[in-house]
């Protein structure tokens, strides 16, 4: 079951992710496929807490 939900990220005043609810399932492989700039890397930096070290980056929601 997912432990990530309603995830929103802003870089300063600019939103990068808004209310993301990804269908993640324990024990399953998940692929992120989207056009450039849609927020794939941003999403991953939230999961491993790297976003906490990006100046001006604000994360809201559940992220594990
Ligand atoms: N450190 C940052 N500061 C400000 N804006 C950022 C930063 N990192 C990413 N962004 C912006 O956030 C949005 C999402 O970018 P992100 O790099 O997460 O997309 P991506 O899906 O990984 O793109 P790509 O497929 O090119 O790797 C883009 O508009 C990008 O310009
Ligand atoms: Mg990327």
pLDDT at 3: 87
pTM for this model (two decimals): 0.94
Q: Closest ligand 1 atom to the C-alpha of 14?
A: 5
Q: Where are the domains of the chain?
A: 4-63
User: pLDDT at residue 1 above 60?
Assistant: no
**Alpha helices in 1-64, H assignment, sequence order:** 40-47
Contact between residue 59 and residue 6 where contact means Cβ atoms under 8 Å apart:
no
Quick: pLDDT tens for 8-45: 999 999 999 999 999 999 899 999 999 999 999 999 99
- Give CA–CA dist 18/34, Å, rounded: 15
Return residues with CB closer than 5 A to ligand 2 (ion): 40-41
Query: Is residue 64's pLDDT more than 80?
Result: no
pLDDT reported for residue 2? 58
Q: What is the pLDDT of residues 48-60, one digit of tens each?
A: 999 999 999 999 9
Report which protein residue has its CA nearest ligand 1's atom 4: 11
Rounded to whole angstroms, the Cα distance separating 50 from 8 reads: 15
């Amino acid at each position: 079951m997912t432990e990530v939900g309603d995830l929103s990220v802003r870089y300063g005043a600019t939103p990068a992710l808004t209310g993301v609810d990804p269908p993640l399932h324990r024990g399953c492989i998940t692929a992120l496929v989207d056009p450039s700039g849609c927020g794939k890397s941003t999403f991953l930096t939230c999961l491993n807490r790297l976003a906490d070290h990006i100046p001006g980056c604000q994360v809201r929601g559940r992220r594990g």
